[in-house]
Amino acid sequence: MPDVTYYVALPFLIDEDGSPVAGAAEECQTSAAALRRAEMLAHGAGHIGAVAFSRSGDPLTGEFGDAKLLRKFGNVPPDLSAL
- Tell me the H-state helices in the chain: 31-42
Query: Tell me, what's the pLDDT at 82?
Result: 62
Residue 68 within a domain = yes
Phi first, then psi, for residue 23 (nearest 5°) are -90, -155
Which pLDDT tens digits describe the chain residue by residue (83 residues)?
679 999 999 999 999 898 889 999 999 999 999 999 999 999 998 899 999 999 999 989 989 999 999 999 999 988 877 66
Query: Tell me, what's the pLDDT at 83?
Result: 61
Secondary element (H or E) of residue 75: none
Residue 65 within a domain = yes
Residue 78 within a domain = no
Q: How many domains does the chain have?
A: 1
In whole angstroms, what separates CA 23 from the centre of its chain? 9
Residue 79 within a domain = no
Full residue range of the structural domain in which residue 28 is found: 2-72
pTM: 0.88
